[in-house]
């Protein structure tokens, strides 16, 4: 299995090369040269693996289709080490919770930091440590977070040999719980940097540093954001696990609704569908920052500036530059790397937007690739949180509420709809109190976390300042 860049760089690479690299040298994102495809018999075999051996074995089967430069026994051991009931709370790892009328939640938030990012990040930490030890090298991870990626990465990487983490977050724009999860980690290899700006400013800095190839090579810069293919690949697994739980056999279809800001989570669903998983619709749920909803309705992808990026009660989706979106557009345009480069490398930089509404390919987003979308507001998510609690006795976080609200608008008879849960509600207690008048339950290990000592550096949105900090630390 070889990987190519969405922007046409001629070099082809194996999995472990791109694992430590992040962006391609031309600024593009890595994708496999072709997606492996599964027929009904192969899906039935994977269902049997899931039922008889569990999530770790399913993860090995799917990952091994994309990874041919880690010996099978060692990859299997990494999956077994990662996906345990002790780490993720249940033997199923991602159990389904029934709501009403064919609507389900797929529980992805039982990991160490109570967010779905743990599903991929725990594996990524083990993959990094394995590959760095095999090479005798070290890695400086530079990442950006709007709330959950940062803590998931830091908890996965703390204490890992050969790894340092430099995590950028928007100053003052995460929930108090999210800030405390990150900033209270005092491990020597963890560096938190709060950027005066919004998440997109943080993400721009990560890309700017990654595109400085000399700096990147000198300081061994890698990334854990969803621009890293390994992270997205790990997320593909739970689409299969959800499908197998929601259906009795391979003749049935399911749909997924995915709360989305950066397009990484739902892009994993796109990959699963391309592999042959019988997914009917992939529904993108946005908050007031509705860049993705606007695209799927109109064909216009219009990036907002910092001043026009709303600060909302589902803050992990306060994003207006969906960095993973390039992977889908590459497929949508028939894998035309020149066009992809013109759109993402040139038009966005020059005009801040592009318009595919009149392009015949745009219709394929819905007809061939199964995408729909919808939007949720603060009032919507409060109403949804109240409704789900009243009808089902279940508390959900604001992002999951965005997903449930939009999923209910896209239900089809006979097709189960799975909403991907994004976090446990304690991470956004203020909104739960506003909706329900009470705080959600707090796991004992997080009691008093907001009052712990914290370590964080505040910087302006300046890539050079971040580079200087990295150089000083290494």
- What is the signed CA dihedral for 290, 293, 295, 298, rounded to 10 degrees? -110
User: What are the E-state strand segments in 145-253?
Assistant: 163-170, 190-196, 221-222
Residues ≥6 apart with Cβ < 8 Å to 339 = 333
Of 97, 117, 321, 375, catalytic:
117
Q: Name beta bridge partners: 196.
A: 460
Q: How many CB atoms lie within 10 A of CB 413?
A: 6
Q: What whole-number distance in Å separates Cα of residue 108 and Cα of residue 337?
A: 34
Q: What's the sign of the alpha-carbon dihedral 398, 402, 403, 408? A: positive
DSSP tag of 328: H
What is the rounded end-to-end Cα distance, in angstroms, of the chain?
34
Residue 172 main-chain phi, psi, to 5 deg: 75, 10
Q: Is 117 considered catalytic here?
A: yes
Distance CA 271, CA 216 (A): 28
Q: How far apart are CA 175 and CA 186, in angstroms?
A: 19
Q: Can you tell me whether residue 94 is helix, strand or coil?
A: coil
Q: List active site positions.
A: 117
């Amino acid at each position: 299995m070889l990987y190519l860049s969405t922007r046409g760089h001629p070099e082809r690479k194996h999995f472990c090369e791109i694992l430590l690299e992040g962006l391609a040298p031309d600024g593009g994102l890595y994708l496999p040269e072709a997606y492996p495809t599964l027929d009904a018999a192969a899906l039935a075999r994977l269902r049997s693996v899931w039922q008889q051996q569990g999530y770790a074995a399913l993860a090995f089967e799917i990952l091994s289709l994309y990874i041919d430069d880690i010996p099978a026994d060692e990859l299997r051991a990494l999956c077994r080490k990662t996906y345990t009931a002790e780490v993720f709370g249940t033997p199923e790892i991602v159990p389904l919770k029934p709501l009403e009328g064919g609507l389900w939640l797929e529980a992805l938030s039982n990991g160490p930091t109570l967010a779905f990012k743990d599903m991929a990040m725990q594996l990524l930490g083990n993959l990094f440590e394995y590959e760095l030890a095999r090479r005798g090298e070290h890695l400086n991870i530079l990442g950006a977070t709007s709330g959950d990626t940062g803590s998931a990465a830091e908890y996965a990487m703390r204490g890992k040999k050969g790894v340092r983490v430099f995590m950028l977050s928007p100053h003052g724009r995460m929930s108090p719980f999210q800030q405390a999860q990150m900033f209270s980690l005092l491990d020597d290899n963890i560096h938190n940097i709060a950027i005066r700006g919004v998440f997109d400013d943080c993400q721009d800095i990560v890309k700017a540093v990654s595109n400085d190839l000399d700096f990147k090579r000198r300081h061994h810069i890698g990334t854990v954001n969803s621009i890293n293919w390994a992270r997205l690949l790990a997320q593909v697994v739970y689409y299969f696990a959800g499908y197998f739980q929601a259906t009795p056999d391979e003749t049935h279809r399911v749909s997924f609704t995915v709360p989305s800001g950066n397009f990484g989570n739902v892009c994993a669903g796109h990959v699963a569908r391309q592999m042959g998983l019988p997914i009917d619709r992939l529904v993108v749920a946005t908050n007031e920052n509705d860049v993705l909803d606007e695209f799927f309705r109109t064909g216009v992808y219009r990036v907002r500036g910092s001043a026009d990026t709303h600060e909302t009660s589902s803050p992990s989706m306060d994003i207006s530059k969906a960095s993973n979106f390039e992977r889908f557009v590459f497929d949508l345009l028939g894998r035309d790397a020149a066009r992809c480069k013109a759109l993402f490398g040139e038009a966005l930089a020059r005009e801040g937007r592009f318009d595919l509404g009149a392009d015949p390919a745009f219709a394929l987003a819905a007809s061939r690739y199964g995408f729909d979308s919808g939007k949720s507001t603060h009032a919507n998510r409060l109403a949804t949180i109240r409704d789900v609690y009243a009808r089902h006795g279940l508390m959900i976080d604001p992002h999951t509420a965005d997903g449930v609200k939009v999923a209910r608008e896209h239900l089809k008879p006979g097709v189960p709809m799975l909403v991907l849960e994004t976090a446990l509600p304690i991470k956004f207690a203020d909104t739960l109190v506003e909706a329900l008048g009470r705080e959600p339950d707090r796991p004992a290990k997080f009691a008093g976390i907001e009052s712990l000592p914290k370590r964080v550096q505040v910087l302006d949105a300046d890539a050079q300042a971040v580079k200087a900090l990295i150089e000083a630390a290494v």
